[in-house]
Structure 1
Amino acid sequence: MSVIRTDEWLEDAYHDPLTICEKLVKHFEGASADEIYHHFKQHGMYHPLKKDKMVPDKAVWEIVQHDQEYLQEKWSGPDIPVYIFPSDITNKEIQTHFNGKSGLAFRDKLFLFISAKNTEEEIKAIFTHEYNHVCRLNNFEKCEEEYTLLDTIVLEGLAENAVRERLGEACTANWVSFYSDEELEKTLATYILPKKQILPQSREYQNILYGFRRYPKMLGYCTGYYLVKRYMEKNSLSSEDLLFVETSEIVGEN
């Protein structure tokens, strides 16, 4: 399937994202265009500005196409459609913690939300992160709705370690350095392990993962990055090797 030329969709319907999401209904059984757009906005998709079109340069589609071909071969990954849209420049979380870029990965499709300011290295970083998710999701039979908090924490940690391994630590998200190893060991024991089995339907799942309400910022992401990096270093393994390794093994629960 490769990278879908959504730049052409944006030329025709930038100011009407519901029309754009109508083209995606076939990929989400039982969901309307309005429901899809609402979900995407929660994960960083743009809402149209009144005057100017804030869209990425057309070169972004070429960069991602090249990267998909490279990583698909390197990781023996699936050939899935990739959709690129502008990110929400008014979303403070996306701008602060992800530098204006985000993504949404499924077993059979991938969505990137990119800002006009993102560099080629940043685009490669977000695609590496999200496509790593796709590969891991395809390596296990468990459906996405059954991924526990601990499964998702490891999923996120593995993806960002893949970015570090491929592009260098300078290209990782700023949240990887929020806490020391000692702090993360404490938060793992205090906040995460007691609720490791909760599912996405639980409000606490998102609160812990992103560090909302009383939890430390980006708690789940930071802990996952730490756990995966620790496992990689201890066992002299690459992020590619870990695509098939169970969550419990990486966390050290066996």
Structure 2
Amino acid sequence: MHGMYRSTSKNILERLPKNVWETVEKEYGVLQKQWNGPKVPIFVFPADGANSKIKREFNGKSGLAFKDKLFLFFSPHNTQSEIKAVLTHEYNHVCRLKKLQKNEANFTLLDTVILEGIAENAVREQCGSANLVGWTKYYTDEELRKIVKQLIIPNRNMKRNERKHNDLLYGKGFYPKMAGYCAGYYLVRNYLESHKLRIKDIFALDSIEFVKEYL
């Protein structure tokens, strides 16, 4: 579901980018030191080539983060810059989950939106704007402000186990595409710029701090 390969082929490792292990290990060391992050095992697998959404939205790459482990999924054509960007996004989740000290089971829609926003702003900070995923450019700032006011704020306390949580996060049904992700990137970018902060400064910041102007 998150992008891992489904094949039982014996030559599955041939579907990974060249030097992926070295790139991941090197960048992981840089990020861990820079963010004073936890040491976690990282699992690297080929991405599911048949997953149209992964191919279309993320150029054949994906990841999945927990507070104590990390999974990365890549396609043969993914570049070193793309590998670094995915690792940066997902390891940022690990750091946020560790330092926020909030049980994931208690996460609200706002918590998830900000989690994703911090992670993709970390990509912007570490890898440059050229390596941001496509959804960061879906909407204008004015459109994003409306999404925040009309969709995110009224539903900010919705729990992760409620269906509407993911509908809003990914923009399913009648909701704007990737609404929650885009809103999170917008909110965190604005907060960083207005307070002149960097990613390492906001890991433990409560999610509500990012939306106070809307309340």
TM-score (norm 1): 0.80
Q: CA deviation at 1:50?
A: 6.3
What residue in structure 1 maps to residue 123 of structure 2? 163
What residue in structure 2 maps to residue 115 of structure 1? 75
Structure 2 matches for 1:217-232, cutoff 5 A?
A: 217-232=177-192
Which of residues 142, 146, 149 is equivalent to 1:189? 149
Q: CA deviation at 1:189?
A: 1.4
Structure 2 matches for 1:11-22, cutoff 5 A?
A: none
What residue in structure 2 maps to residue 44 of structure 1? 3
- One-letter identity of the residue aligned with 2:92: N
Which of residues 85, 88, 106 is equivalent to 2:66? 106
- Whole-Å separation in 2 of the counterparts to 1:124 and 1:161: 14
Unaligned runs of 5+ in 2: none
- Whole-Å separation in 1 of the counterparts to 2:54 and 2:96: 24
- Could you say what the CA RMSD is over the residues aligned between the two structures, in angstroms? 1.5
Post-superposition Cα deviations, 1:34-90, rounded to whole Å, max 9, x if no partner, equal xxxxxxxx1111111769646203510111011111111110000000001111111
- Whole-Å separation in 1 of the counterparts to 2:32 and 2:162: 33
Which one has a bigger Cα radius of gyration? 1
- Whole-Å separation in 2 of the counterparts to 1:70 and 1:128: 10
Percent pairwise identity: 49
- One-letter identity of the residue aligned with 2:25: Q
- One-letter identity of the residue aligned with 2:98: N
- Whole-Å separation in 1 of the counterparts to 2:10 and 2:40: 34
Residue 174 of structure 1 pairs with residue 158 of structure 2: no
50-59 vs 131-140, greater mean Cα deviation: 50-59
**Which secondary structure does the structure 2 equivalent of 1:43 belong to?**
coil
Post-superposition Cα deviations, 1:104-147, rounded to whole Å, max 9, x if no partner, equal 10010000111111100000000000000000100022111111
What residue in structure 2 maps to residue 132 of structure 1? 92
189-198 vs 176-185, greater mean Cα deviation: 189-198
- One-letter identity of the residue aligned with 1:56: L
What residue in structure 2 maps to residue 27 of structure 1? none
**Which secondary structure does the structure 2 equivalent of 1:139 belong to?**
helix
Residue 78 of structure 1 pairs with residue 57 of structure 2: no
Aligned 8 A contact 2:114 2:185 in 1: yes
Structure 2 matches for 1:237-248, cutoff 5 A?
A: 237-248=197-208
